[in-house]
Amino acid sequence: MLTCGRYLSSAAATTPSFPPLRTLTFSLLRYHPIRFLSFSSAAATTAVEPETISGGGAGGGATRPQWKAAIDFKWIRDNRDVVATNIRNRNSAANLDVVLQLYDQYLALQKEVERLRAERNAVANKMKEKLDPSLRQALVDEGKNLKESLIALEEDLVQLTYKLQLEAQSIPNTTHPDVPVGDEESSVTRKEVGSQRSFSFPIKDHLQLGKDLDLFDFDAASEVSGSKFYYLKNEAVLLEMALVNWGIAEVSKKGFTPLITPEIVRSSVVERCGFQPRAQNTQVYSIDNSDQCLIGTAEIPVGGIHMNSILVDSDLPL
């Protein structure tokens, strides 16, 4: 499936460079450099806390996550050192100790809830037998007390599950062991294709060429939008449009479906794609007083098309 969308990531404005294809997100249409780098794992993530809801358990109100991630808490507990190292290497603010503490509380509370449920069922089964009135009344009272206790504990379990989920969602995915630790200077060249060309004259980079040929304007854009932004002009505009049209035409021949996505999505969709839209160090632009964000890649709304659905094998590939 071919996807197109505007590239709005804040990271795109960190260097005065001209991206070859600003509006494409399909990898076949990207400009491929001669070097393939394994980038360092310095990205930071922090926890997200959506709206708070009221609860009737002993823990009171708790923050409900916008969605429930499929997190293997047992694996995290059994591989604590690995997870802790990954959190540290990725400069994450995730608190592993809190997650494990909440998980232990969750297991203990879940065990207690299951015990009370078993007792309640046992009392209910006894009630089906022929009993003396006094014994039956005792069982009725016991069943009532168990029911009230169970309701309170189940609410506590719900609130604890919310807390556990929110804390655990801040734990970053495990980085591949071959990824170097550090900033951009720690990146390693993994492979080089071809050889560098040599020229008999001083070469210019794309920035100088663009200025000399009047292809883009950084000065005007800095006044309008701030530093690092630019205007595309003249043949650069025609070149980008031509490349986009050529790329769409080529992949369409191979059976891909052209798709232009919404540029605003719900925060929950962004979270499901692995981003933290409300985090302190987020690279996602959020819209104030709403649950919506601007997309940084069209893969996010494309991924949302089939969320919460089960795909049949016969329908694949999409």
If asked whether residues 158 and 240 sit together in one domain, one would say: no
On the question of a cis peptide bond just before residue 317, with omega within 30 degrees of 0, the verdict is yes
Residue-level pLDDT at 280: 60
Residue-level pLDDT at 63: 66
| Secondary element (H or E) of residue 38 | strand 35-38
If asked whether residues 158 and 247 sit together in one domain, one would say: no
Q: Cα separations (Å) of 249 from 258, 260, 264, 280?
A: 9, 15, 26, 40
If asked whether residues 77 and 165 sit together in one domain, one would say: yes
If asked whether residues 267 and 233 sit together in one domain, one would say: no
The CA-to-CA distance between both ends of the chain, in Å, stands at 7
If asked whether residues 79 and 102 sit together in one domain, one would say: yes
If asked whether residues 155 and 80 sit together in one domain, one would say: yes
Q: Is the pLDDT confidence value at 112 over 90? A: yes
Mean pLDDT, range 285-302, rounded to an integer:
88
If asked whether residues 90 and 160 sit together in one domain, one would say: yes
CB 194 within 8 A of CB 102: no
pTM (whole model) above 0.85: no
| Cα atoms found within 13 Å of the Cα of residue 148, Cβ hemisphere only | 5
Q: SS3 for 190?
A: strand
Residue 223 has a CB neighbour count (10 Å cut-off) of 10
Higher pLDDT, 62 or 208: 208
Greatest Cα pair distance in the chain: 108
What confidence tens digit (pLDDT) does each residue in 2-11 have?
A: 444 433 333 3
Residue-level pLDDT at 30: 33
Please indicate, yes or no, if residue 20 is contained in any of the structural domains.
no
Report DSSP state, residue 33: P
Mean pLDDT, range 129-150, rounded to an integer:
86
If asked whether residues 142 and 82 sit together in one domain, one would say: yes
Please indicate, yes or no, if residue 273 is contained in any of the structural domains.
yes
If asked whether residues 88 and 145 sit together in one domain, one would say: yes
What confidence tens digit (pLDDT) does each residue in 161-214 have?
A: 999 988 898 898 888 888 888 888 889 888 999 998 899 999 999 989 998 999
If asked whether residues 163 and 84 sit together in one domain, one would say: yes
What confidence tens digit (pLDDT) does each residue in 218-266 have?
A: 999 999 999 989 999 999 999 999 999 999 999 999 988 889 999 999 9
Q: Is the pLDDT confidence value at 282 over 80? A: no
Mean pLDDT, range 12-32, rounded to an integer:
35
Please indicate, yes or no, if residue 105 is contained in any of the structural domains.
yes
If asked whether residues 156 and 78 sit together in one domain, one would say: yes
Higher pLDDT, 173 or 23: 173
Number of independent structural domains in the chain:
3
Query: 305: which 2 tokens?
Result: 């098309």
Structural domain harbouring 82: 73-170
If asked whether residues 234 and 265 sit together in one domain, one would say: no
Scan for tokens 């040599």, then name that residue: 198
CATH label of the domain that carries residue 101: 1.10.287.40
Mean pLDDT, range 65-93, rounded to an integer:
88
Q: Cα separations (Å) of 100 from 32, 48, 78, 157?
A: 43, 18, 10, 16
Please indicate, yes or no, if residue 34 is contained in any of the structural domains.
no
Mean pLDDT, range 66-77, rounded to an integer:
85
Q: Is the pLDDT confidence value at 59 over 70? A: no
The rounded mean pLDDT for the chain is 79
Please indicate, yes or no, if residue 10 is contained in any of the structural domains.
no
